[in-house]
Amino acid sequence: MVAGRISPGRRLGWLILGGATSFSAIMLVVSNSPSLGLGMVLAAVAHFGNGLFNISAIVAVQLRVPEDIRGRVMGVFAISQSVGILGGLWTGTLATLVGLRMGMMIGPAIMLLMIVTIFVTQRKVRNLHEDPAHDR
């Protein structure tokens, strides 16, 4: 509901990267949470950032894809989003090999590294605008 009320305007790219960053950073904290209750609360907060990322990314794709292929593109987009469930497989394997906390930290750490790389090297992503005509 919050993401739907936010009109990012010229800051759409920042909202996408910010949502992904907040999710990953908070999940790092979750992996080191001293209690299950606190971890669950933090995970809920982290998924708020994940929702902001997903909704903003869908808006960006919808606004930039030609209408005649939008359904197909969104179908592929939806499939790629559901592949994230497979992260549990490698996270579980890592947790078995290096311990639960470290296993849970590796994924968010990789994501933060990727987000920083995109932020630093991809000006076009940073400068995404709600109106594609204003992208720089």
Write out pLDDT tens, residues 88-117.
Answer: 788 888 889 999 889 889 989 999 999 999
Write out pLDDT tens, residues 44-83.
Answer: 999 999 888 888 888 888 888 899 999 999 899 888 877 7
17 C-beta neighbours (distance < 10 Å), count: 20
Alpha-carbon 94 to chain mean position: 21
Which pLDDT score is estimated for 7? Answer: 63
Which pLDDT score is estimated for 33? Answer: 92
Question: Are the beta carbons of 57 and 64 closer than 8 angstroms?
Answer: no
87 pLDDT higher than 80: no
Dihedral angle of Cα 45, 47, 51, 53, to the nearest 10 degrees: 100
What single DSSP character describes residue 97?
A: H
The residue ranking higher by pLDDT, 84 or 30, is 30
Which pLDDT score is estimated for 130? Answer: 72
Query: CA 37 to CA 68: how far, in whole Å?
Result: 47
Alpha-carbon 122 to chain mean position: 16
